[in-house]
Amino acid sequence: MNSSQVSFFTFSAYYDIGLFKYFLFTVVMCFYILILCANVFLIVVICMHRSLHEPMYIFLCSLFMNELYGSTGLYPLLLIQILSDVHTVSAPFCYLQIFCLYTYANVEFYTLAVMSYDRYLSICHPLQYNTRMTSNKVAMLIALSWLFPVLAIVIMISLNASLQLCGNIIDRLYCDNYSLVKLACYDTTVNNVYGLIYTFIVLFGLVVLIIYTYIRILKVCFSGSKQTRRKAVSTCTPHLASLFNFSVGCLFEIVQSRMNMSRAPMVLRIFLSLYFIIFQPLCNPVVYGLNLSKIHVLCKKMFFGKM
């Protein structure tokens, strides 16, 4: 059976919870509204205040835009499925959701790596920072952090669309690339090789970049002045917190999708599969809004007027 002949997929991870589904729908809707409001608010704050038109905050604006994009790729379908009695999705929409969620995760990682490089230049080369991190370079880095993931995921989706599928049951709450590959009737070597090569390039390249930048930052902190250490702590702490939270979410997703967790409680499996797409967009506005002094002060002024 060719994948083009599969008109819909069925999610088997949903089960009947009776009237409790309305409470769950309300909770998930509140999460979604909170994510939208928090990220949109910080984007508006950064755009409205010229004092925040610096590379670090422009990268943050790109990060918040990505949180909105990724959340919109998950929540609308999730809310519909919670209330629905028939948990199916059309094949084109399923591939669209895979594209959205995977580009979100990749853009997130690329953007965090670019922000690490920006912090490295700011702390290790402060006198050359303005000449090395120009507006053109900022625009180029943001464009590349979006274009590379989009091209990579388009290739991945194209390879998946050509697979012959022998089923349409997905044991998840949403469409997932690995779940579709497991439905293939025949050999998926090409898909697996492409996935491994791309994962290795991304992990090796971006992880090495992040590790290198923070090793250099730590060296400067230990040998630099108290003011340098204070600057490093104030600007790097929220970035490290975001990077750690995202890495934990990706690890949870890999564990849940790649390992046999049939004996694990359903609640645990759902938590592991949704962590990276729920808590990252929710935590980032809080982490950066509270820890970066400029944003913190401007948010106070917008809510309470001049202090």
Total residues belonging to the chain: 307
191-223 tens-digit pLDDT = 888 888 888 888 788 888 888 998 888 888 777
Across the chain, the runs of DSSP E, i.e. the strands, are: 8-11, 88-90, 169-170
| CATH class given for the domain over 3-304 | mainly alpha
How crowded is residue 224: how many other Cβ atoms within 10 Å of its Cβ? 16
Q: Could you give the CA distance from residue 46 to residue 66 in angstroms, rounded to a whole number?
A: 15
- Structural tokens at position 11: 């999610």
Q: Could you give the CA distance from residue 115 to residue 238 in angstroms, rounded to a whole number?
A: 11
Q: Could you give the CA distance from residue 299 to residue 79 in angstroms, rounded to a whole number?
A: 31
What pTM, to 2 d.p., does this model score? 0.89
Say what the pLDDT of residue 1 is.
41
38-84 tens-digit pLDDT = 899 889 888 888 878 889 889 999 999 999 999 999 999 999 888 88
83-134 tens-digit pLDDT = 888 888 888 899 999 999 999 999 999 999 999 999 889 888 888 888 889 9
Domain spans in the chain, listed from the N-terminal domain onward:
3-304
Non-local (6+) Cβ contacts of 133 within 8 A are 55, 118, 121, 122
